[in-house]
Amino acid sequence: MQGAKYHAAVATGTRLAELAELAAEAAGCTRCPLAETRTNVVFGVGDPDADLMFVGEAPGRDEDLQGVPFVGRSGQLLDRLLAEELGLDRSRVYIANVVKCRPPDNRDPRPEEIAACRPYLTAQVELVAPRVVVSLGNFATKLLLDTDQGITKVRGASYPMGGTVLVPTFHPAAALRGGGVVLAQMRADFVRAKLLVGPAG
């Protein structure tokens, strides 16, 4: 058993180092015009060995200032749902966005910006290798599922995605705008993700 634990520690350390290297590369990225207006690159945060990964859309003002995903009102709701439905805090999951730099005035990310950032997200998913990925909102869901269908059509189910499973749900901002019905559906999706992750190892 000691050997197995040592091996896991080495694997996690390597994974952390590779994510740090990727984050350093992203910090100097100029692949799209968003580099000109950002304060910080918002790469990702959390456990590099997490069983559960969340992917949002793009950083907002608070995220751009702090360099951390989901730290504004949407992040507070995400943290609350993690605690209430999964019994976890954000240190136990991994959180990233489709686009790593804030679009001006919080506009939607453009196709060329998503395409420029896609290799970073692909590498994050491969390195973390979670059991379950939860996509938050339309942009993450359409990219990861490679679909044109909106979140209202595809949520409520799970989808195989390479070696992991994708659970689409609404972006927390939609629940803040849409009230109780959207929030209840998000809670159901979080429970679905929890069941798919299974018991902690």
CATH number for the domain that contains residue 70 = 3.40.470.10
- CA 46 to chain centroid, in Å, comes to 10
CA distances from 48 to 14, 107, 186 (A): 10, 29, 24
Dist CA 47 CA 16 (whole Å): 9
3-state SS string over 20-88?
HHHHHHHHCCCCCHHHHCCCCCCCEEECCCCCEEEEECCCCHHHHHHCCCCCCHHHHHHHHHHHHHHCC
What's the pLDDT band for 3 if we cut at 50, 70, 90? very low
Dist. CA 129–CA 25, nearest whole Å = 20
Model confidence at 49: pLDDT above 80: yes
pTM (whole model) above 0.85? yes
**Domain span including residue 165:** 2-197
Q: What is the mean pLDDT of the chain?
A: 92
Position 16 confidence tier, pLDDT thresholds 50, 70, 90: confident
**pLDDT for 178:** 86
What is the spatial distance between Cα 135 and Cα 146, in angstroms, rounded to a whole number? 12
Spacing of C-alpha 88 from chain mean position: 15
- pLDDT at residue 78 in the model: 98
| Coil/strand/helix, residue 138 | helix
Radius of gyration over every alpha carbon of the chain, rounded to an integer in angstroms:
16
The tally of domains found in the chain comes to 1
What is the reported pLDDT for 26? 96
Residue 50's Cβ-count burial label (10 Å; 0-12, 13-18, 19+) is buried
